[in-house]
Amino acid sequence: MDVESFREFGKAAVDYLADYLENIRDRQVLPNVEPGYMRKLLPEEAPEEPERWQDVLKDMDRAIMPGLTHWHSPHFHAFYPTANSYPGIVGELLSAGLGTIGFTWMSSPASTELEVITLDWLGKMVGLPPEFLSCSPGHGGGVIQGSASEATLLCLLVARERYVQRLQEKNPNLSEEALRMTKAKLIAYTSNQSNSSVEKAGILGAVPMRLVPCDEKFQMKGQALREAIETDVKNGLIPCIVISTLGTTPTCANDPLEEISTVCKEFGVWHHVDAAYSGAALICPEYRYICKGIENTDSFNFNPHKWMLVNFDCSALWVKDSRELVSAMSVDRAYLAHTKQDSGMPDYRNWQIPLGRRFRALKLWFVLRIYGVRKLQEFIRQQCQLAIDFEQLLKSDDRFEIFTPAHMGLVTFRLKGPNENTKKLMANLQSGKKIYVVGAQLDGKEMIRFAICSRFTESSDIQFAWQEILRQTEKVFALPSKKQEITRGQK
Ligand code: PLP
């Protein structure tokens, strides 16, 4: 492809995206395709000869669009949001075009320095204590990870290494065998409401993850954590890290950081906070009550790529002592060394699991500058209000029960009565494909999660969702038709 075609292709792609996003409300949120649909549309071999970009772009409509779930549709209410904004998209484009790999300061000074600065900006925006920031004295600082899952795994590995290194310092003559036996006794803790990625981090890091039972508000209380730790210690296990959650995935519950940190301090355990979704709300001071006690934790992570309009992937992690990351993650080679290594600027390869890294700070910088803090706060507040509006609609119909009230853009609800009704409603909604919601089961009860996900969602979309829920609810309670009864009788 020559440069003129690149200009045309790039401009056409931007137009394509602008049309797609501005008209996304008109598309059905869930696709109609069946598994394997694409095999029928694409050839079995890659093309031998070059094709025209115009033809490739046309195939977006023929082969790709029919199989897309439209995550940015205002009728998407499943999971949690994934961010999308015009500044975020342009940031991604420029990052791809510049194509730098900033694993050391020298390998791309601008990407490292912009990341240091934007994470200080962002840390201040969410009210992090100064110990987490690079601009403060000490060893704190922020780094962009690919996902909250990676951030959790990284902290678990660092906590594990920290324990091992301290042990080796105390017992320099420790044998390999004794070290292996000690490592096998390490154990991690999180609540039974934490994200699947937390349990997975335990599997990948070879540190069993104890799922601490939550209270009736789906919070992991300090006392329950203490009991779990004390029992394990009695049985010879060694607590290594606790991962608490702000904004659990099923119901957006918040673990009380202050009491959990007290227990962590007592047992010398790393305290990591996974605020993947709801961390973005901390840019609004009225939500900061959820992170009371944050100053006593060791690491804090949230995803601007979820609820803060920065396109995937951009997961912000701050640690109080970056030396612990470096000590656990650095493996040196002559080709990675450079003359500015002791300048105080990070070599981010030592703050993450992979070696390579994209210039992700660019899209964060664009979003922060082009929205500004005020517009981002407005965005979060509007989304929270839409969830409150939806909760009001549920309250207006006594067939529904609110399972957990609107909290930071999420409401969970169910149909009163047996679980079967809610299950049927869920199935009807998914096969209707007009809105996309997912379910969960807690305390033996089926419920439906309704999250405000798209930045395009407005009041009329909440009404649209409500009407669809009412329509599908009618079907749940409809008496079987004569024809169905006859068919059943014949069986
Ligand atoms: N933690 C929580 C609380 C989440 O809700 C999610 C995803 O929804 C994750 C972690 C995983 O996030 P990521 O996809 O960035 O790994």
pLDDT in tens, 332-371: 998 888 888 888 899 999 999 999 999 999 999 999 999 9
Output the CA 257–ligand 1 centroid distance in Å: 18
State both tokens at 92.
């991604």
Instruction: Round the average pLDDT of the chain to a whole number and report it.
Output: 95
Q: Where are the domains of the chain?
A: 3-79, 100-358
Atom of ligand 1 nearest to the CA of 315: 15
Cβ < 6 A, ligand 1 pocket: 79-80, 147-149, 195, 197, 245, 247-249, 274, 276-277, 303, 315
More confident residue, 344 or 20: 20
From the alpha carbon of 303, which atom of ligand 1 is closest? 15
> 76 pairs with which residues across the strands?
436
- Given ligand 1 and candidates 301, 303, 307, 410, which is best to mutate, with the most ligand atoms within 8 Å of its CB? 303
pLDDT digit string, tens, across residues 113-168: 999 999 999 999 999 999 999 999 999 999 999 999 999 999 999 999 999 999 88
Note the pLDDT of residue 491: 43
Split at pLDDT 50, 70, 90, the class of 482 is low
pLDDT at 69 over 50: yes
Would the pLDDT of 483 be above 70?
no
3-79 domain in CATH 3.30.420.40? no
Please report the pLDDT score of residue 374 as a whole number.
Answer: 98
| Position 186 pLDDT exceeds 90 | yes
pLDDT on residue 126: 98
Residue 479 predicted with pLDDT over 80: no
Place of tokens 């396109």: 311
Each residue's pLDDT tens digit, 241-287: 999 999 999 999 999 999 999 999 999 999 999 999 999 999 999 99
Reported as a pLDDT band with limits 50, 70 and 90, residue 51 is very high
Band of residue 481 on the pLDDT scale cut at 50, 70, 90: low
CATH architecture for the domain at 100-358: 3-Layer(aba) Sandwich (3.40)
pLDDT tens by residue, 422-469: 999 999 999 999 999 999 999 899 999 999 999 999 999 999 999 999
User: What does the pLDDT look like over 280-297, one tens digit per residue?
Assistant: 999 999 999 999 999 999
Model confidence over 381-412: pLDDT tens digits?
Answer: 999 999 999 999 999 999 999 999 999 999 99
Selected residue with higher pLDDT from 172 and 83: 83
Mutation pick for ligand 1 pocket among 195, 209, 317 (CB with most ligand atoms within 8 Å): 195
User: What's the pLDDT at 489?
Assistant: 47
Tell me whether residue 285 is exposed, middle or buried, using C-beta atoms within 10 angstroms of its C-beta: 0 to 12, 13 to 18, 19 or more: exposed
Task: Answer whether residue 48 shows pLDDT above 90.
Answer: yes
Distance 280 CA to ligand 1 centre (A): 13
pLDDT(227) > 90: yes
8 A C-beta contact, residue 140 and residue 134: yes
- Within 13 A of 99's CA, how many CA atoms are on the CB side? 1
Question: Residue 310 above 80 pLDDT?
Answer: yes
**pTM for the complete prediction?**
0.94
Grade residue 480 by pLDDT with cuts at 50, 70 and 90.
Answer: low
Residue nearest to atom 12 of ligand 1 (CA): 148
- Which ligand 1 atom is nearest residue 313's CA? 15
Expressed in angstroms and rounded, the spacing between residue 149 Cα and the centre of ligand 1 is 6
Q: What percent of the chain has pLDDT over 90?
A: 91
